A and B are shown apart, each in its own frame.
Chain A
Amino acid sequence: MTYQFNFDPIFRSFDKMLAGLWLGLWLAALSLAIGCVIGLLVAYGRQSRIAPLRWALVTYVEVIRNCPILLLIFFVYFGLPELGIFFLDKIDSFILTLSVYAGAYLSEVFRSGLTSIPVRYVEAAKAIGLRPWQRQRYVVLPVMFRITLPALANNLISLFKDTSLAAAIAIPELTFITRQINANTFRVMESWLTASVLYLVTCYAIAWALRRVERRYAVIR
């Protein structure tokens, strides 16, 4: 049995696939942004002197990191309306889930970033008379951002790959679109090959772009 490749049906829907890819990128970028805010707050919160707060945050991080993301997506999408939270549409609900998910991972990234900043930089900041929040704002956070940049890049890439799961709640991103094309055209190999290549190229493009950013900011040797 030989398989006859025919990409024509794929090319006819190619703009839909690109739109799906673009949507996935947006979902990932937004979730990363919100996740960074959550992650920072959690990382600082875990340095708090209030023990119950620390325990709550550890629980959040451990539960989220050990729970399948697909289950979280369903829980938020189907479960929250049960709690009377109706205002989320599919996309909002997915962004919420992915952000909370990213926040748990990013909090660990930031936590190790914070502890890896040499004390001497903080001492120099003290010596010129900066106040505690100024020390965080002008010295600790910028240095930590540079230290954690490679990890942030990896997180963005895996978040982007995770956006494929939005297909499970019928959000029209690339995987969902590809499945539709597959079903409508029966061009199985062509549709999934195209989707795979699109994902691959995008992932490596993100990695490449962020490595350039890293090099631009890599001022710490």
Chain B
Amino acid sequence: MAEPQPLLRAIDVHKKFGDVEVLKGIDIDVQKGEVLAIIGSSGSGKTTFLRCINLLEEFHQGEIQVDGERIGYTAGSHKRLGEAAIAAQRARIGMVFQSFNLFPHMTAEQNVTLGLIKVQGRRKEEAVEIARRWLDRVGLAERRDHYPYQLSGGQQQRVAIARAVSMEPKLVLFDEVTSALDPELVSEVLAVMQDLAKSGMTMLVVSHEMSFVRAVATRVVFMEAGRIAEEGPPAELFARPKSERLAAFLGRFHGLAH
């Protein structure tokens, strides 16, 4: 049976910080419409892997393809592409950060329209319309003229999600997006993400919210010491972890995740 071309394909991705190898060969395919959750303890390399996909980190070996296009490096000699080419590739990959990283000098709406206007070259009115639609969808229609410092953490993160998805990227990377939030603000952000997942968006989610992962992910990857240690559908993985490590990791969340 012919597999469709995966939306994201990582082949033997290696990454070093100095002498320390934090990614020791990551291989993974993600199909369009999948919601892939990446779990693992801190230092396992999951955030680094996500940042490699968006070229915020350089990797030293291997290759990453998005929709069949090789990302960040030339084929063969593994030379980093020029900034313009990399910027164009990043524009097709959305990213949401742990610390929101909204531009502090711009309103919620301006945060969303910046990329639509300056990267995608849309007219301002069109960009504003798109931004308003997305801000409405994440429940912040009335806050569009607020500056980041006037918004709660949960609201800032929802604006950041709107900023990422409004550009209609092929896939969106979520890097521990609820870790910096006060507990009572987590659910509003997760609800937005669940809504996006239902609409068929391809998502890579690094998260410690196990109940969210269980409910929303179509597939879960467990990373351990720079490698993918286990993967499978969430129900299976959570119910019958194959390795001691995963069992121990999941054990830590018992009682925490309802």
> Could you tell me which A residues sit within 8 Å of B by CB distance?
120-121, 123-132, 134, 138-139, 142-143, 146, 217, 219-221
> Could you tell me which B residues sit within 8 Å of A by CB distance?
54-56, 83-84, 87-95, 97, 99, 101-105, 114-115, 118-119, 147-149, 160, 163-164, 167
The distance in angstroms between the C-alpha atoms of A123 and B90, with both chains bound, is 11
Q: Assess the A127–B118 pair: CB atoms within 8 A.
A: no
9 interchain pairs, CB-CB under 8 A = A120-B99, A124-B102, A125-B103, A127-B164, A128-B164, A138-B118, A146-B104, A220-B104, A220-B105
Q: Assess the A143–B104 pair: CB atoms within 8 A.
A: yes
Q: Provided the pairs A138-B114, A221-B149 are in contact, do residues A129 and B101 lie with their beta carbons within 8 angstroms?
A: no
Q: Provided the pairs A121-B104, A219-B105 are in contact, do residues A128 and B97 lie with their beta carbons within 8 angstroms?
A: no
Shortest Cβ distance from B92 into A: residue: A129
On chain A, the residues within 8 Å of B84 by CB distance are 131
Nearest-neighbour CB distance to chain A for B131, whole angstroms, equals 13
Q: Assess the B119–A129 pair: CB atoms within 8 A.
A: yes
The distance in angstroms between the C-alpha atoms of A27 and B89, with both chains bound, is 48
Find the residue from A131, A132, A139, A221 having the highest chain B CB count within 10 A. A131
Q: Assess the B91–A128 pair: CB atoms within 8 A.
A: yes
Q: Assess the A146–B83 pair: CB atoms within 8 A.
A: no
Shortest Cβ distance from A128 into B: residue: B115
Shortest Cβ distance from B116 into A: residue: A128
Q: Assess the A142–B164 pair: CB atoms within 8 A.
A: no
On chain B, the residues within 8 Å of A132 by CB distance are 83, 87
The distance in angstroms between the C-alpha atoms of A125 and B99, with both chains bound, is 14
Q: Give the contacting residue for A120; candidates B92, B97, B164; CB below 8 A.
A: B97
Q: Give the contacting residue for B118; candidates A124, A130, A146; CB below 8 A.
A: A130
Q: Provided the pairs A138-B114, A143-B104 are in contact, do residues A127 and B54 lie with their beta carbons within 8 angstroms?
A: yes
On chain B, the residues within 8 Å of A129 by CB distance are 87-92, 115, 119, 167
On chain B, the residues within 8 Å of A146 by CB distance are 104-105
The distance in angstroms between the C-alpha atoms of A130 and B90, with both chains bound, is 8
